[in-house]
Chains A and B, each alone.
Chain A
């Protein structure tokens, strides 16, 4: 089992391991910075979102809902519901993590994003790393996200004034991120899903989309996300129960 030495090198090794995350984060964070400004937020407000929330999909969603005038409680509920999948990451990663006190674990938990979870899940098995490695990984990812947000928030306004066409094009960053996230969620999720669960996920997404379309059509745009967030899982759950009743749910072999 490979062991990292207890020097500053584990921290640097963690930073290096996070480079692919940073490459993906910076353009998305820049896009978020621009989206935040377009939603009417100031530079400080946009930056604060990234500093405090540090969850891309819910930040984009929140910016969109703020811009659309969705009531704050509904926006908060929808944003939190988007992040519910994060409850799965800790238990999945816990056996692989190095020895950390409660304080260290609490610090590490802050940086447990989708991408950090994915990289840690891939790299940690078979390795014995120190807490510094993990901190380096998370610090690099967090730094990239915050820096990208600042660039987008500060530079976005200049771009909007000098290059309005580019600014208009950047407005598609949010939908593009949703496309990426949806496809990732429907593939197999952070942990391997059975065939039945995958179909249930797709049913949930399809019903959510239809409900949102219906809400838009009748002018209930502001409530579309909440309605979809309730109707979709109910439909997905019903599908899963139906599949279980027919004995069609079989888990893939865990390799």
Chain B
């Protein structure tokens, strides 16, 4: 295994763990729940920070989705390269809206993608 890959996995793994553990450990400190309320300004700032965090994920996931649906610019492909992914994405979206099940959503997208690719 390449060292660079190992370090990459460790950094993301440790970082993800800390994002889960540190807030939980802080919230579980004795007296954390009975601490006097912060000032309204401090509460606003804390709420603002949380909202900012929540805004990051949709932007990144949307960018990843767009990137995954488009062929590489260097690939001299035809219109077919655009049709299958977008049709399958619509199928996945419909499945997710209908059942809200991750496994079904992935399965429906894969099946539709395979069928459309085979047909065209």
Q: B67, A212: Cβ atoms under 8 Å?
A: yes
A92 to B13, CA, bound (A): 22
Query: Which of chain A's residues have a CB closer than 8 A to the CB of B19?
Result: 80, 83-84, 86-87
| Docked-complex contact B64 and A61, CB < 8 angstroms | yes
How many A residues touch B, CB cutoff 8 Å? 105
Residues of B within 8 Å of A181, CB to CB, are: 61
Does A135 touch B at the CB level, under 8 Å? Answer: no
Interface flag for B12 (CB, 8 Å): yes
Within B1-55, the residues touching A (CB, 8 Å) are: 1, 4-13, 15-17, 19-28, 32-33, 50-55
C-beta contact mask, A160-192 vs B, less than 8 Å → 1, else 0?
Answer: 000001101111111111111111111001000
> Any chain A CB within 8 A of the CB of B120?
no
Closest to A200 in B: B55
Bin chain B's interface residue count.
Answer: 35 or more
Determine the main DSSP class of B at the interface with A. Answer: helix
Q: Please, how many angstroms separate the alpha-carbon atoms of A84 and B29 in the complex?
A: 22
List residues of chain B with CB within 8 A of the CB of A44.
1
The smallest C-beta distance from B41 to any residue of chain A, in angstroms, reads 15
**Cβ B68 vs Cβ A178 within 8 A:** yes
- Is residue A62 contacting chain B, with contact meaning CB distance below 8 A? yes
| Interface: A255 (CB within 8 A) | no
Interfacial residues of chain B within 77-117, with CB under 8 A of chain A in the complex: 85, 88-89, 92-93, 96-97, 100-103, 105-111, 113-114, 117
B59 touches A228 (CB 8 A): yes
- Looking across the interface, which residue of chain A has its beta carbon closest to that of B5? A45
Question: In the complex, what residues of B have CB within 8 A of residue A154's CB?
Answer: none
Mostly, the A contact residues are: helix
Within 205-255 of A, Cβ neighbours of B (below 8 Å) are at: 205-209, 211-213, 216-217, 219, 221, 224-225, 227-229, 231-233, 236-237, 240
Establish whether residues A90 and B70, one from each chain, have CB atoms under 8 Å apart when the complex forms. Answer: no
- Contact A86 B59, beta carbon cutoff 8 Å: no
The answer, yes or no, to whether A141 is at the interface (CB within 8 Å) is: no
Selected contact of B56 from candidates A49, A75, A81, A216, CB within 8 Å: A81
Q: Interface on A for B, CB 8 Å cutoff?
A: 23-28, 31, 41-42, 44-45, 48-49, 52-55, 57-58, 60-62, 64, 66, 72, 75-76, 78-91, 93-95, 97, 100, 102, 105-106, 108-110, 112, 115, 165-166, 168-186, 189, 193, 197, 200-202, 204-209, 211-213, 216-217, 219, 221, 224-225, 227-229, 231-233, 236-237, 240
18 contacts between A and B (CB under 8 A): A28-B103, A48-B1, A52-B9, A54-B13, A54-B16, A82-B56, A83-B16, A89-B20, A90-B22, A95-B33, A108-B24, A109-B24, A175-B69, A204-B55, A208-B62, A212-B66, A216-B66, A232-B55
